């Protein structure tokens, strides 16, 4: 195994030789056909496909972060999450959230080669087919489930996946070889409640039900498989990747009635020129910011930041949507081992690490969680009338197409409204019991409940006081309505019910967080929710692919309205929020974008 790890590292080092080695100064004045801003999930997938499909062009990717290809915290599945808040994370704060008693919520975002695909928690799933078909209905020809499913499958090689999953793509997915035994009790407990089905094939457009979720892990090395180590090594030498270099803005020049992107200016003032296109893949927070810094956006935002408006585009940075979560945790019986043991016990940790080095399954592979996707009736265990009424009243009079869709989909039982993640180790806000407590050293398990289509819709804009380098102003407006609050209270109550259902009931000892005595009434749950609500780290839709009249920022070819050759290709173009961890969708967007950019370049579109 050691040999395997070293070997793969060397291959990567050779294949992406030059990553970070060239200074931006040496590239000053250089001209590329395609300039891609952001070497993250979508950026590297797109760049690699363009490099392969257009071998006679020159492509550059400019990434603000460094390479983390050899970092254990990134590569080792069981260490996922350990990089959050560290040097590879932008870790943007929201503004104080009113409904959360002015609490600030932090947004991890990858600042590293591979972007958020290097930091994420490696859940590999897909939304309901109907949700993607809606993209097409909203004015985006070519963006239905059928086309997106094919694109998502082009990104993956799903080892042991169900028939129909991808077999030839760069990113590996699998059902992880390490599994906590007590998680076997989850599916029988959940499926005995509220008519919830078992689902062992949730990624082909029908996610409703309970099952184990795949993860993006390479079966040879048992390392995270992500854009930097999966796509990039396949690129040809016509692709240059510049790391630790930040783009300040896109340069635009009038061209008839449109603006033409001529290149980008870096934060050190150096200009890199684009012959054909500039493509923003800086993610849902920074792509809209870069548009604003380049003079594209809402009049008042640009005026406040003293930026000359070149294109009036009110949708930029609006429509911000995120999956919000809250969790409860239980102590597990002593005869079961949880992932907590490697945190408490140094000898066990070393033994498990050695198992990994010897290519044996260990807690350092651990990422295999059970996941439930459910509609309201399944969560509530009865009528969803009250939830629907709350949604109607919160959205009364709204003309927003996303809002209308949120209401419409409530009558579709195939579209999940709640996700529940059943973890193999502690998760929560309380933290481990203090040293000296009799509960210290015990094993824990959590249910993390996530709201898939919260009504709260926010925004992300540049800070007028420090537009280029300051933190963006992120205001997701969390829990600004009763639908979102009551929805998560329903989910919390159902989570407790699941823990009290056999066979899971016999696996757990007692509720650790919040504790049966601490939370009894709906008012208690509300209080708990306001103090503990967090996010699943899935901001999207901030440069939405929608008609301009509906608040859209890009057209169905992902070209920014009012420009000739400036595209956005990342999670910000998702038109309406989807009920999945979004990385497969983001890879699918990059694959589709590559397909039509290559066709256009070859004159076939
Ligand atoms: C902690 C965490 C856990 C998650 N867990 C999961 C999960 O388990 N499953 C799942 O499906 N999804 C998960 N996600 C979400 C998923 O990873 C993201 O939605 C997806 O990776 C976003 O891809 P992107 O291409 O839009 O942006 P990113 O991958 O974030 O790429 C943007 C890149 O642009 C760079 N950049 C930004 N501004 C500039 C600039 N001015 N100049 C140069 N470069 C710039 C950034 O450094 C970054 O590398 C998680 C995300 C996080 C952060």
- Burial (Cβ within 10 Å: 0-12, 13-18, ≥19) of residue 347: exposed
Mutate to test the pocket of ligand 1, among 60, 282, 324 (most ligand atoms within 8 A of CB): 282
Model confidence at 3: pLDDT above 60: no
Task: Report the nearest-CA residue for atom 48 of ligand 1.
Answer: 115
Work out which ligand 1 atom sits closest to the CA atom of 114: 49
Give the helix/strand (H/E) hosting 277: strand 271-280
Torsion of CA 129, 134, 140, 144, to 10 degrees: 20
Q: Quick check: 327 and 449 in contact, CB under 8 A? A: yes
- Which residues line the pocket of ligand 1, CB cutoff 6 A? 37-43, 62-65, 84, 108-111, 115-117, 119-123, 246-247, 281-284, 286, 290, 537-538, 570-571, 581-583, 586
Work out which ligand 1 atom sits closest to the CA atom of 290: 41
| Selection from 206, 171, 9 nearest residue 586 by Cα | 171
Tell how far the Cα of 239 is from the centroid of ligand 1, in angstroms.
Answer: 21
Strands 443-451 and 418-422: antiparallel
Cα 448 to Cα 321, 373, 377, 415, 513: the distances in Å are 19, 12, 19, 19, 12
- In whole angstroms, what is the distance from residue 143 CA to residue 135 CA? 6
- Domain limits, the chain: 22-175+224-321+536-605, 179-213+324-451+480-532
Tell how far the Cα of 283 is from the centroid of ligand 1, in angstroms.
Answer: 6
- Map residue 32 onto helix, strand or coil: strand
- Return the CATH number of the domain spanning residue range 22-175+224-321+536-605: 3.50.50.60
Q: Quick check: 119 and 583 in contact, CB under 8 A? A: no
- pTM score of the predicted model: 0.96
Q: Quick check: 132 and 143 in contact, CB under 8 A? A: yes
Model confidence at 16: pLDDT above 90: no
CA angle 498, 503, 506 (to 5 degrees): 95
> Which residues are 374's β-sheet partners?
418
| DSSP letter assigned to residue 470 | S
Per-residue confidence at 173, pLDDT binned at 50, 70, 90?
very high
pLDDT (tens digit, 9 = 90+) per residue, 228-286?
Answer: 999 999 999 999 999 999 999 999 999 999 999 999 999 999 999 999 999 999 999 99
- In whole angstroms, what is the distance from residue 365 CA to residue 75 CA? 10
Question: Which sequence positions are flagged as catalytic?
Answer: 538, 581
- Return the CATH number of the domain spanning residue range 179-213+324-451+480-532: 3.30.560.10
pLDDT (tens digit, 9 = 90+) per residue, 459-494?
Answer: 999 999 999 999 999 999 999 999 999 999 999 999
50 CB-side CA count, 13 A: 31
Work out which ligand 1 atom sits closest to the CA atom of 590: 25
Task: Report the nearest-CA residue for atom 37 of ligand 1.
Answer: 282
> Which tokens hold the place of 605?
């579109």
pLDDT (tens digit, 9 = 90+) per residue, 395-417?
Answer: 999 999 999 999 999 999 999 99
Is the backbone peptide bond immediately before 514 cis, with ω within 30 degrees of 0?
yes
- In whole angstroms, what is the distance from residue 588 CA to residue 577 CA? 15
- Is 204 within any annotated ligand binding site? no
């Amino acid at each position: 195994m050691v040999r395997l790890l070293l070997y793969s590292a060397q291959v990567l080092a050779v294949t992406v030789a030059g990553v970070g080695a060239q200074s931006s100064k040496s590239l000053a004045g250089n001209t590329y056909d395609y300039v891609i801003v952001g070497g993250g999930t979508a950026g590297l997938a797109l760049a690699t496909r363009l490099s392969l499909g257009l071998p006679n062009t020159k492509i550059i990717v400019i990434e603000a972060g460094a390479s983390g290809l050899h970092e254990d915290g990134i590569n080792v599945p069981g260490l996922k999450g350990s990089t959050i808040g560290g040097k590879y994370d932008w870790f943007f704060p929201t503004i104080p959230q009113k409904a959360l008693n002015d609490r600030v919520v932090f947004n991890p975002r990858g600042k590293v080669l591979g972007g958020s695909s290097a930091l994420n928690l490696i859940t590999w799933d897909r939304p309901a087919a109907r949700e993607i078909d809606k993209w097409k209905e909203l004015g985006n020809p070519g963006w239905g489930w059928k086309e997106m499913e094919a694109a998502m499958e082009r990104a993956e090689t799903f080892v042991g996946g169900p028939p129909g999953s991808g077999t030839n793509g760069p990113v590996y997915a699998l059902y992880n070889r390490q599994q906590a035994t007590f998680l076997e009790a989850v599916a029988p407990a959940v499926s005995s409640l509220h008519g919830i089905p078992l689902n062992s094939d949730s990624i082909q457009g029908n996610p409703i039900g309970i099952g184990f979720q795949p993860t993006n892990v390479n079966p040879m090395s048992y390392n995270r498989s992500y854009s930097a180590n999966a796509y990039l090594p396949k690129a040809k030498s016509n692709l240059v990747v510049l790391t630790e270099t930040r783009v300040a803005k896109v340069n635009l020049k009038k061209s008839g009635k449109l603006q033409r992107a001529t290149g980008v200016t870096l934060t050190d003032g150096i200009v890199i020129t684009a012959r054909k296109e500039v493509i923003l893949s800086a993610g849902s927070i920074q792509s809209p910011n870069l548009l604003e810094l380049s003079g594209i956006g809402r009049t008042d935002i640009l005026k406040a930041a003293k930026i000359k408006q070149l294109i009036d585009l009110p949708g930029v940075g609006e429509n911000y949507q995120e999956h919000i979560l809250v969790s409860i945790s239980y102590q597990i019986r002593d005869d079961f081992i949880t992932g907590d043991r490697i945190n408490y016990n140094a000898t066990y940790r070393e033994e498990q690490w050695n198992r990994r080095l010897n290519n044996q399954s260990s807690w350092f592979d651990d990422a295999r969680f059970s996941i439930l996707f459910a509609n309201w009736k399944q969560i509530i265990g009865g009528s969803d009338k009250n939830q629907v009424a709350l949604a109607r009243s919160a959205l009364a009079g709204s003309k927003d197409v996303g809002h209308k869709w949120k209401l419409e989909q409530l009558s579709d039982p195939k579209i999940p409204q709640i996700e529940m993640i059943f973890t193999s180790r502690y998760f929560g806000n309380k933290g481990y019991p203090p040293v000296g407590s009799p509960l210290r050293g015990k094993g824990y398990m959590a249910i993390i409940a996530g709201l898939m289509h919260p009504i709260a819709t926010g925004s992300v804009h540049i800070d007028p006081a420090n537009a280029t380098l300051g933190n963006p102003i992120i205001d997701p407006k969390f829990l600004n309505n009763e639908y979102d609050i009551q929805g998560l209270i329903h989910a919390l109550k159902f989570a407790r019910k699941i823990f009290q259902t056999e066979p899971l009931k016999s696996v757990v000892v007692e509720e650790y967080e919040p504790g049966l005595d601490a939370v009894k009434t709906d008012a208690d749950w509300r209080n708990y929710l306001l103090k503990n609500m967090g996010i699943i780290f899935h901001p999207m839709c901030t440069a939405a692919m929608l008609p301009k009249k509906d608040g859209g920022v890009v057209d169905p070819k992902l070209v920014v309205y009012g420009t000739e050759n400036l595209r956005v290709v990342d999670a910000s173009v998702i038109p309406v929020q989807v009920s999945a961890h979004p990385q497969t969708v983001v890879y699918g967007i990059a694959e589709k974008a590559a397909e039509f950019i290559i066709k256009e370049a070859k004159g076939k579109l």
